[in-house]
Amino acid sequence: MSSFSEYDFLARYGGDEFVALVPGTEPGDVVDLCDRIEKAVCAFKLPVGEAKTASVGVSLGSLRIPAGR
């Protein structure tokens, strides 16, 4: 996903759960990143059958771990 930099890490954590590690990112930048991810996911239309699509949603949260911990 182009919302991430080359130093970030995105992995599947569970069935439909993902974890993103974005080292060195300031809290305000994390909010911007979450907004970009939400817009990209919500803009995606999943093809279902002929000429039909389904919308996709997302819920996001964040946790900041100070450097050196």
Task: Indicate the domain borders of the chain.
Answer: 9-55
The pTM of the full predicted model, rounded to 2 decimals, is 0.71
Sign of torsion over alpha carbons 36, 39, 42, 44: negative
* Confidence (pLDDT) at 55: 92
Residues 21, 3: contact at Cβ < 8 Å? no
| Spatial distance between the Cα atoms of 48 and 18, rounded to a whole number of angstroms | 24
* Confidence (pLDDT) at 2: 59
φ, ψ dihedrals at 9, nearest 5°: -130, 130
* Confidence (pLDDT) at 3: 63
* Confidence (pLDDT) at 7: 77
Q: Which 8-state DSSP code applies to residue 19?
A: E
φ, ψ dihedrals at 53, nearest 5°: -135, 155
Averaged pLDDT, groups of 10, the chain, 69 residues long = 72 88 87 90 91 91 83
